[in-house]
Chain A
Amino acid sequence: MTAPRVRARPSARAASPDGTYDLLRRLRDEALDSDYAHAANRSTVQNRPRRSAAVGAAVLVALGVLLGLAAVQSEQEQPADQRERAAVLAQIEQRQEQIQDQTATLQGLRASVAGLQGDVQTLGLQGADLLDSVAEARRLTGAAPVQGPGMRITVNDAQDAGKTQGGTVLDADLQVLVNGLWQAGAEAISVNGQRIGPLTAIRTAGQAVNVNFEPLQPPYVLDVVGDPQTLQARFSETAAGQSWFDLQTNYGIRFEMATASALTLPAVPAARLRLHEAQATTGATP
């Protein structure tokens, strides 16, 4: 129970076999604060009486408080960790629900995209149909040039037109001829290259017959697109056919009709295709 017992322990520096400074060994050898040895020395020298155990007890109370605090603190931190984990888990669930919602939305959108694509295809087909209709209407009204089989009719004044009366082809004669051809099933008619359109007039102005305001000179060549098999026969059955038969026999007006396998008719001049006053009706188109 004396100080030399403590001091008897080998010093770290001395104990190191290779003479190096051995930190861990020194740490171990000087685990007990050397102050205790000093204090013991001094107390033996001065014979100072030991103090009461109250100081040591007070220090131990402090240690106890520290331990209790540490325990309480770690207890308090645990629920916090659990709360955090629960919050993260809740977030995960929330996000998963979001993902499910968005997946459902995505599927719905995909379905509608597929539907819209079907609509687009339908509309494309309808558009093609409409373009076809428009093209047909343009051919029908003379807004577009046409080609096809039909007849070429050449009419001319009588040989002696200047001497006898009535030997000249009049605008009325041409009107009758064109009307008869429509009646006989013609689909497109041009006179000397002037296409007959909805607004086309055939009338005499000055010395010449005007079609589409263009003065024409005889002979008048009528290109008629229609069925070559039936056009001629049906024309001769019409009143116009009768009328022209009379013109040939009575006045010597020349009339020649020949089938043509491929005729090309120009469009009506643009000036004769404009509508200025006629408005579209709001009702359903037939």
Chain B
Amino acid sequence: MIAALGLVVGIVLGILLQPSVPLALQPYLPIAVVAALDATFGALRAYLDGVFDDRVFFVSFLSNVVIAALIVYLGDRLGVGNQLSTGVVVVLGIRIFTNVAAIRRHIFHA
């Protein structure tokens, strides 16, 4: 309950305050969002598995976001930014799908 409230508060804060993202970081925002979603769904699954640990969630969230952005940044420097973005999205997408499928099995037992 508190978690859902936190999510809503965060969204409202982001939209209302609109903190200006530095122009240099703007290309990495979408990939950071995908990485954050991956960490969050992983945490939800862990919670349902009964192994949730908020410290692990915190660390995995931060590291996912930073590493995904770093990989894309590196790709941009090397001139293969688009390809690396695609790779990151594919990997994270597979993880998200797998975790969401596990969550679904927990909730609906199917």
Contact = CB atoms under 8 A, between A and B. Distances in A.
Nearest to A63: B36
B24 interface: no
A72 B14 contact: yes
A66 interface: yes
A271 interface: no
B9 A61 contact: yes
Interface of A: 1-3, 5-6, 24, 27-28, 31-33, 35-37, 39-40, 43, 50-73
A64 B6 contact: yes
Contacts of B51: 1, 3, 6, 36-37, 39-40
Q: Is the interface of A mostly helix, strand, loop or mixed?
A: helix
Given A35-B60, A57-B6, A60-B40, A27 B95 contact: yes
Contacts of A32: 42, 45-46, 49, 99, 102
A59 B61 contact: yes
A66 B46 contact: no
B5 A57 contact: yes
A266 to B, nearest CB: 93
A232 to B, nearest CB: 110
A59 B52 CA distance: 14
B105 interface: no
Contacts of A39: 51, 53, 55-56
Given A56-B43, A63-B61, A69-B14, A36 B6 contact: no
A3 B13 CA distance: 36
B89 interface: no
